[in-house]
Structure 1
Amino acid sequence: MAIQTTSGVIVQEAVQKILVQPLEQMSTWLSSGVTIVDSSEPVRIPVIEPGTLPTYVAQGDLIPDNAVNWSEVEALPSSLLGIAGWYPISNQAVRSTAVTGLPSVVQQRILTDASNKLDRCFYVGDSDGVSAVQTIDTSDATDGTFTLTYKGQTTAALDHDDAAADIQTALRGLSTIGASNVNVTGSAGAYTVTFAGALANTQVEAITIGTDSLTGPGSIEFVTQGIEAGGIDGLFNQPGTQQAELDTADLDSFLDAIAVAAAANVEPNRWYLNPVDHIQLRKIHKGNDDVSYVLDPDPRQGTVYTLFGIPVTTSNFIPRGKAALGATQYAIVVRDLNPEVFVTEHALAQRGALALRVSVRMDMVLSQPGAWVILSES
């Protein structure tokens, strides 16, 4: 990646090399074998639905219409939002011979940010938006107080067993959150914080917990990352998919999912799992005093794990307790032909810096939703 110090758009050939092609390799979804279509305009994609069965017809009789039924979905509509990033870099850093690897560092940062955002959207995106959710757990604490911090602002001390309403009041009192921008539910010691109002349907920073004055443990966890409205409907939010039960303690649930796919005359070629759930599967023992693992030696095809002969893709953006099995040829990603990397000095001239503005648009459609089985813990 070459950092230019003159304002302008980097030519498309260079953008393909520094952004588009590496993204296809870094994204776990794009690199899993899905169909990728490049287009500069919206694309109409037929979505195949079950057709009627052929029937015996006497010679000369009217043949009934047995055409396969389908509807059409518009991918990459003009209203679809793109993913954009803004990366200021000081001119001193650009000129410094001591930072000879700066261009590759900047490129890696851009690619990591973009691929993470895309994968989150490809798996759990919702065009209506998703509000961030965090959980706070002080249920094992026996005494003392804790604090909560958001974007540099910290609450007053909170009792380990305060009511959810007290936690909500404290968080709303932070200037970085504000009134009505979080809702807190739950019981004493086990709270669920849902971002709302001006902080709904957007990426937010994590709330952190201070436990120095707490007798016992206290923890906080991101359950759901916020996603803006107007983007991609991810795999786990696509309509028309088949459903099955997930049990990471029982490999039979995965065979049952293969059976669901087979019943729909689909030959699946890819599993999608959260890494933690995948490890849980690999920890299953043969039993009856045999402590060896069912999946040992590790089944692989090259560098890819397999499960019952089907390659496995793992991603932290797949929710725990969820998995998917599908035929990747029926997942179509439409990629805008005009991604942009724009270099400017004007906006930051007084600070002696330049900035890169990166933007890319992609959309996803399941052309045969019934070819995909979504597994969920009961």
Structure 2
Amino acid sequence: MVETTTANPELLREQVSSLLIQPLEAASVVLAAGPRIFDTAEPLRIPKLISSSDPAWVGEGELIPEHDVDFDEVRLMPTNRKSVKTLIRFTNELLRQSVIGLDSVLKDRLVSDVARKLDTAFLVGDGADNTVTGIVNQPGVQKAVLDAAEPDSLLDALALASAAEVTPNRWFISGADFYSVRKLKDSSGKYILESDITQGTTYRLFGVPVTVTNKLPAGKAVLANMAEVAVARDTAPTVKILDQRYAEYDEQAIRVTARFDLGLLRPEGVVVLDAASAGA
């Protein structure tokens, strides 16, 4: 018998990937910035070194000194981690009469809704009630002062990263602060925020790409090496067509569920800038 979505309202994994996961990686500013993504449906433990050995110069035939190293781990996707879920209802009349393909419209809506929710959690989530703890609230991150009218505050953040032997590859800045920084000029009258014509409408600040997002409040920014940011993604997100639940209304619905988590492999690889720190 031919398998159809009527007989199997739970979409196949390949369909879910093309409908939700792949577009989501492009729509989410955090996922698009290149964190390390781990696909897992179970609790994930990522080992990391917190101390290293001290290699020595050793001559021929001499004893090689032993060294102890300490390990720690980043724990992601606990069993009680909540999921991102959404449900969209639509009438059968709309399905039949749509001039533009309804499936395309719903796909864009689903991706947009989930991306907004995830980016808020990834950046500023407080971890309450078994939700995701965002980058700015992760323990161990470096702290700096943000002064959107003073370029030196941005250079100070880069200096912190350099002192920790971190090569940052992404700024996250709120829209309000971005345009304040956009006005800054160097001593020769040149804007310090450079447009990168090789990457479309993108900008670089002191050589580091800039992502503008309204998920960060004004007065808050992040400088990060995204290779130090780990995102756990449940391997089994679901997109289910509910064709009977709202039958008495002659409606259908699409339900989406997905689980994500975030942690830092090396917290000092992230610098959180805060304007409130200026008066502290």
Aligned to 2:86: 85
Q: Give the conservation status (yes or no) of the 8 Å contact 2:194–2:204.
A: no
Residues in 2 aligned to 1:309 and 1:274: alpha-carbon distance in whole angstroms: 18
> Aligned to 2:217, which of 292, 302, 319?
319
Q: Give the conservation status (yes or no) of the 8 Å contact 1:49–1:368.
A: no
SS of structure 2 residue aligned to 1:80:
coil
Would you say how many aligned residue pairs link Structure 1 and Structure 2? 271
Q: Give the conservation status (yes or no) of the 8 Å contact 1:282–1:293.
A: no
Q: Give the conservation status (yes or no) of the 8 Å contact 1:283–1:293.
A: no
Q: Give the conservation status (yes or no) of the 8 Å contact 1:48–1:368.
A: no
Aligned to 1:248: 148
Aligned to 2:262: 364
Root-mean-square deviation (Å)? 2.3
Aligned to 1:302: 199
Q: Given the superposition, is the C-alpha separation of residues 53 and 371 from structure 1 closer, same or farther in structure 2, using an over 3 Å criterion?
A: farther
Q: Indicate the structure with greater strand content.
A: 1
Residues in 1 aligned to 2:52 and 2:84: alpha-carbon distance in whole angstroms: 38
User: Structure 1 stretches (4+) deviating beyond 6 angstroms?
Assistant: 56-59
Q: Give the conservation status (yes or no) of the 8 Å contact 1:246–1:322.
A: yes
Aligned to 2:108: 108
State the identity as a percent: 35
Aligned to 1:374: 272
Residues in 1 aligned to 2:155 and 2:198: alpha-carbon distance in whole angstroms: 19
TM-score by length of 1: 0.67
Q: Give the conservation status (yes or no) of the 8 Å contact 2:193–2:203.
A: no
Q: Given the superposition, is the C-alpha separation of residues 37 and 363 from structure 1 closer, same or farther in structure 2, using an over 3 Å criterion?
A: same
Segment of structure 1 superposing worse, 271-280 or 295-304: 295-304
Pair member with larger Rg: 1
Q: Give the conservation status (yes or no) of the 8 Å contact 1:85–1:359.
A: yes
Q: Indicate the structure with greater helix content.
A: 2
Residues in 2 aligned to 1:258 and 1:350: alpha-carbon distance in whole angstroms: 60
For structure 2, the residue ranges without an aligned partner over 5 or more in a row are none
Cα displacement (A) at 1:295? 2.7
Aligned to 1:124: 124
Aligned to 2:137: 237
For structure 1, the residue ranges without an aligned partner over 5 or more in a row are 129-228
Residues in 2 aligned to 1:258 and 1:300: alpha-carbon distance in whole angstroms: 23
Residues in 2 aligned to 1:24 and 1:245: alpha-carbon distance in whole angstroms: 30
Residues in 1 aligned to 2:75 and 2:204: alpha-carbon distance in whole angstroms: 34
Query: Which AA in structure 1 matches 2:211?
Result: T
Q: Please tell me whether residue 336 in structure 1 is matched to residue 234 in structure 2.
A: yes
> Aligned to 1:65, which of 32, 51, 67?
67
